[in-house]
Amino acid sequence: MIETIAGKYNYWIYISLMMIGFYAIIAKGNLVKKIIGVNIFQTAVFLFYISISKVRGGTAPILWDKAVLYDNPLPHVLILTAIVVSVSTTAVALAMITRIYKEYGSIEEDKILKSRRENL
């Protein structure tokens, strides 16, 4: 039992990270903190991808004459793309946050909501 739990420690790590990110998205009122939460959320999945690419006894997938066995390079490549996507998302989000700050004078969710309600 313990072995199955401990043996899948990569899952526990990624799930914990994901939940931490998710918690931040939901619970934090500050928009920047929300975005940090989103980043943690995404990074958790990236780690998961990298962890499944591991081959026992393999080395990093860089062409090397001493290597016998390589880790699976494909997830690495995929995650490289995903990281780019994640960075773009963060950029767009931060751009929006600066605009929101200009318009509402705050990046706290409750203040923004209050301001919206007042202007209805």
Partner 1 sequence: MTDFLAALREHIPALLVIVPLLAAVIIPFSPAPLRRRGAAVSLLANAAALALASALAWEVFRLGRVSYRFGGWAPPWGIEYAVDPLAAVMLLLVAFVAFAASVYSGAAASGEITAEKLPYYQSASLLFVSGLSGMVITGDIFNLYVFIEIASLAGYALVASGRRRDALVAGFNYLILGTIAATFILLGIGYLYMASGTLNIADLRERLPHIYHTKTVLTAFAFLIVGFSIKTALFPLHIWLPDAYTYAPSPVSALMAATGTKVGIYAMIRVIFTVFKPEFNASVVPMKAILIVLSSAAIIYGAAMAIAQKDIKRMLAYSSVSQIGYIILGAAVASQHSLTGSLLHMINHALMKACLFMCAGLMLMSTGAEKVADLRGAGRRMPLTMAAFTAAALSMTGIPPTLGFVSKWHIGLGAVEAGYWAVVPVILGGSLLTGIYFWRVIEPAYFGAPPQSGHKNAEGGAPRWALAPALALAALGTLLGLAAHTPAVGAARAAAELLGR
- State the residues that interact with partner 1 by CB under 8 A: 22, 25, 31, 34, 38, 41-42, 45, 48-49, 52, 74-75, 78, 81-82, 85, 88-89, 92-93, 96-97, 99-100, 103-104, 112, 116
Q: 8 vs 3, 14, 51, 117, CA distance in Å?
A: 8, 10, 10, 48
In the complex, minimum distance from the CB of residue 66 to partner 1, in angstroms, rounded to a whole number:
26
- Reference 29, options 41, 40, 37, 39; nearest CA is 37
- Reference 45, options 96, 89, 92, 109; nearest CA is 89
Decide whether 66 or 118 has the Cβ nearer to partner 1: 118
H or E stretch at 19: helix 9-27
Decide whether 20 or 78 has the Cβ nearer to partner 1: 78
Decide whether 70 or 104 has the Cβ nearer to partner 1: 104
